[in-house]
Amino acid sequence: MKAEETILRLKEAFPDIGDDLKSPSPLRVFTPFLEPKRFEEVLIYAKDKLDYYRGLHIVGTDEGENLGFTYLVSNADGVILAIREIVPKSNPHIRSMSDIYPAMLMHERELVDLFGAEIEGLPEGPSYPLPDGWPKGQYPMRKEWNPKYFNKMTMTYEPPEEKATDTATAANDNKDNAAKTAADEKSTAGGGASK
């Protein structure tokens, strides 16, 4: 099934999301961010009715106040359908899709560790990928988490208390990055010219 047909069938089954479906390239279809319930319906529909039988990948993203989870599934024609879910950071409760797509199990565990998702129905198993002893409540992939404030010896997150310190650190970061970028651009130009 090609991308256009996928979009048509999804529009028929879920008219409320039909207008927001995107196909930026011939083999990609993106749904808009959906509420967990709707997301589950679309995913199950894609698996059962549209024959998107392969679970590929899950990308967790930080959407400011919310967390976005993009499930990538694909079919025999090489089309990747990205079904997206959004939950608030304060209550990141979703249902596990690993009974429908067993291949997603490891990726869901990553969402738990790195983004703090609470996934109901996730089978028991070792956490992945963070080390044992990682402090609870610390989710590295959230944008507000800064690796600079993580003390690796004591395994604790120690953010500075004054706002002034934050601005100073941010200003220094910008300077460092600008210097690095300038140096890199020079070396890239040099590398391209040499044989």
Partner 1 sequence: MSEGLTIPIGPQHPSLKEPVSFLITLDGEVVKKAVIELGYNHRGLEKACESRTYIQDLYIIERVCGICSHAHSYAYCRCVEELAGLQTPRRAEYIRGIVGELERLHSHLLWLGVAGHEIGFDTLFMYTWRDRERVLDLLAEIGGNRVNYGINTIGGVRRDLDENICQHILDVMDGLEEQIKYYAELANTEATLIARLAGIGILTRDDVIKYGAVGPVARAAGIMDDVRIVEPYGVFTEIKVNGVTDDHADVYGRTVVRIKEMLESIRLIRLMVKEMPDGPISVRAPRRIPTGEIIIRVEAPRGEDVHYLRSNGTDKPDRVRVRAPSEANWHGMKHMLEGFHFADVPIIIAAIDPCYSCTDRAIMLRSDKGDTVTDWESLRRTGIERYKKMGIDPSKIRMRTSGV
Partner 2 sequence: MKLLQKAIAWGRKKSPWIIHFNAGACNGCDIEVVDSLTPRFDLERLGIIQEGSPRHADILVCTGAVTLQTRDRLKQIYDQMSSPKFVIAVGTCACTGGIFDGCYCVMGGIDTVIPVDAYIPGCAVRPEAIIHTVETLLDSLEKKEKKAKKESKKQKRKNKIEDNTSTLSDTALPEKDVSYETHAVAAPGSDGNVKGSEQKA
Q: Site residues (CB under 8 A) for partner 1?
A: 24-25, 27-28, 30, 53-57, 59, 61-62, 70, 72, 78, 80, 82, 101-107, 125-131, 140-141, 147, 173, 177, 180-181, 184-185, 188, 191-192, 194-195
Q: Answer yes or no whether residue 142 interacts with partner 2 by CB under 8 A.
A: no
State phi, psi for 157 to the nearest 5 degrees.
-100, 120
Q: Answer yes or no whether residue 131 interacts with partner 2 by CB under 8 A.
A: yes
CA distance 102 to 105: 6
Residue type at 40 in one-letter notation: E
CB-based contacts of 120, cutoff 8 Å, min separation 6: 93, 94, 95, 96
> In 3-state terms, what secondary structure has residue 138?
coil
Name the minimum Å distance from CB 185 to partner 2.
Answer: 18
84 beta partners = 33, 70
Of 36 and 140, the one with the shorter C-beta distance to partner 1 is: 140
Q: Which does 24 bind (CB under 5 to 8 A by kind): partner 1, partner 2, none?
A: partner 1
Token reading at 135: 């402090």
Name the minimum Å distance from CB 89 to partner 2.
Answer: 19
**Interface with partner 2 (CB under 8 A):** 130-134, 140, 147, 150, 152, 155
